[in-house]
Amino acid sequence: MKTRILLLCCTMQGIILACLTSPDLQAQYNSAIGIRIGGTSGVTAKYFYRPTKAVEGIIGTFGNGFSLTGLMEKYSPVYNVSGLYVYYGGGAHVAFYNGKDRYNSYFGREIDYHRDNGVGFGINGIVGIEYRLPEDIPIAVSLDLKPFIEMGSGGYVSVAPDPSIGIKFIFR
């Protein structure tokens, strides 16, 4: 399992390094709202405040709780492919646990440590690839890794890769 995660991380980094072109090109939409399915699943909203820079907010759920995440992202087009972008960035989150005592793993987030109604605070990275469908279809799909380190009120520290796929409805 760890080998697969490492391989996925290396592949995503390779795509970014191999495919970047001029950062002067811009993303093809202003804002979007959608869903994220993966380690942390939920609703996501994105807004481009500059041609290649966006803020993203995620209200997510996982195993025995939910989280609020804020991210700053930088977009770069992939060479010679219309509508295809790589993005990377970072941010922070706060997670709330409901106190259930059970053991499960949700894409690396081991929830057996969270046996109280605790709160976790963490820092996040993000690296991904997004494809904007042709102009007449207001949809974008994405694949990303949102690794995080979280420290919680119960004294635990969690680290997880938090992979996901997403689909967003685009507003021009």
- Considering only CA atoms, which of 77, 81, 40 is closest in space to residue 61? 40
Q: What is the CATH number of domain 2-171?
A: 2.40.160.20
Spatial distance between the Cα atoms of 168 and 165, rounded to a whole number of angstroms: 10
> What is the band of 113 on the pLDDT scale with cuts at 50, 70, 90?
very low
Per-residue pLDDT of 141-157, as tens digits, reads 999 999 999 998 878 78
Comparing 88 with 21, the larger pLDDT belongs to 88
pLDDT above 90: percentage of residues in the chain: 57
- Does the pLDDT of residue 68 top 90, yes or no? yes
Prediction pTM value: 0.79
